[in-house]
Amino acid sequence: MLIFFWIVLKKQSLTIKQLRMQQFISAHDVPDINQLIQKALEYKANPSKDQYIGKGKRLGLIFLNPSLRTRISTQIGAENLGLSSMVFNVGSEGWQWEFEDGVVMNGQTVEHIKDAAPVLGQYFDVLAFRTFPTLTDKVKDYGEHALHQLIKYSGLPVISLESATLHPLQSLADLITISETQSSQKKPKIVLTWAPHIKPIPQCVANSFAQWINAWGKAEFIITHPEGYELYEQFSNGARIEYNQDKALEGADYVYVKNWSAYKDYGKVLCSDASWMLNKNKWGITNRAKIMHCLPVRRNVELSDEMLDFEYCLATEQAGNRVWAAQAVISEILKTISSK
């Protein structure tokens, strides 16, 4: 009988463990997306409600690439929970990292991730990491080589600040923004539209938005882009693909504008057709859609002044919600740490 109860208790504690957020690198790390959105909205209403839960804990924000929103919003989110945080810009401030195994380090790289990550593991309780894709090596990028090396060698819970393929904190902020601006109970029609750009841009934001909207499951979801810009199916499956942008925009409640380079013909710019840039005429086809963009944006290349300065544009609200997204995620990770 005692053994029976022990097995039941063990199973229950395993289930609770599985339901805790161990890391935050994709929508699949989130046991309940709606619960996380609600938690973020609670922090938005009352930022200091958990102001002591991170006391004595330290967050390391490690950047291989530049940032404005992610860096500052994550630090504010941490501060609201009582955590101290430090930013380290690898490369520009520290030693250049090497990620390849067995390499003779006689070039530009000075420190191997195998040596740097365990050191960070000694200094911090949680790590947050930004690393962009190469856009030349699809296997390495889509295998999230750099991110997985940091997770493996640091031994710490890792929060993605945008990786080679995904940008989960952005997507969570996007869902928070949609949730708080929905004007009716009916499923919103959300359109993710490709927009032109002058240089090859990662697929991360588009991949991630698609992954989160699909996982959320509370929208009619359409992706529109020129032929050749299909996203990796693992992320876009569940969305309807429409190559005619005007058709896709019909009756849309939200239009998420973003450029990305090709996934199939990896990292290539295949189209520079300026007619894909959203303007007021195209907006007229929608259901007075709210316009979304993650920023930064090249004005009048990716999105026009008239749309960015338009009252229906939510880009600043999305950026504001990055704080509550980060705070909710850090709070969940702290819960996991304290239960160990």
- Cβ 294 to ligand CP shortest distance, Å: 4
C-alpha span between 11 and 5 (Å, rounded):
10
Asked if 271 and 224 touch (Cβ cutoff 8 Å), the reply is no
Site for ligand CP in 222-251 (CB under 6 A): none
Report the SS3 class of residue 7. Answer: helix
Instruction: Spell out the residues 6+ positions from residue 165 whose beta carbon is closer than 8 angstroms to its own.
Output: 133, 141, 142, 144, 202, 203, 204, 207, 208, 232, 235
Q: Which is nearer to ligand CP, 251 or 296 (CB)?
A: 296
Asked if 128 and 57 touch (Cβ cutoff 8 Å), the reply is no
Applying CB under 6 A, among 26, 70, 131, 321 the residue interacting with ligand CP is: 70
- Cβ 162 to ligand CP shortest distance, Å: 6
Using CB under 6 A as the binding rule, whether residue 170 contacts ligand CP is answered as yes
User: Per-residue x/- marks for ligand CP, 290-319, CB under 6 A?
Assistant: ----xxx-----------------------
Q: Which is nearer to ligand CP, 132 or 243 (CB)?
A: 132
Using CB under 6 A as the binding rule, whether residue 258 contacts ligand CP is answered as no
Asked if 135 and 266 touch (Cβ cutoff 8 Å), the reply is yes
Instruction: Spell out the residues 6+ positions from residue 106 whose beta carbon is closer than 8 angstroms to its own.
Output: none
Applying CB under 6 A, among 39, 57, 69, 282 the residue interacting with ligand CP is: 69
Using CB under 6 A as the binding rule, whether residue 178 contacts ligand CP is answered as no
- Cβ 73 to ligand CP shortest distance, Å: 8
- Residue from 166, 180, 206 nearest 320 by CA: 180
Instruction: Spell out the residues 6+ positions from residue 219 whose beta carbon is closer than 8 angstroms to its own.
Output: 178, 187, 188, 189, 190, 213
What secondary structure letter does DSSP report for 313?
B
Site for ligand CP in 19-58 (CB under 6 A): none
- Cβ 295 to ligand CP shortest distance, Å: 5
Q: Which is nearer to ligand CP, 69 or 282 (CB)?
A: 69
Using CB under 6 A as the binding rule, whether residue 68 contacts ligand CP is answered as yes
Which residues contact ligand CP by CB under 6 A? 67-70, 162, 170, 294-296
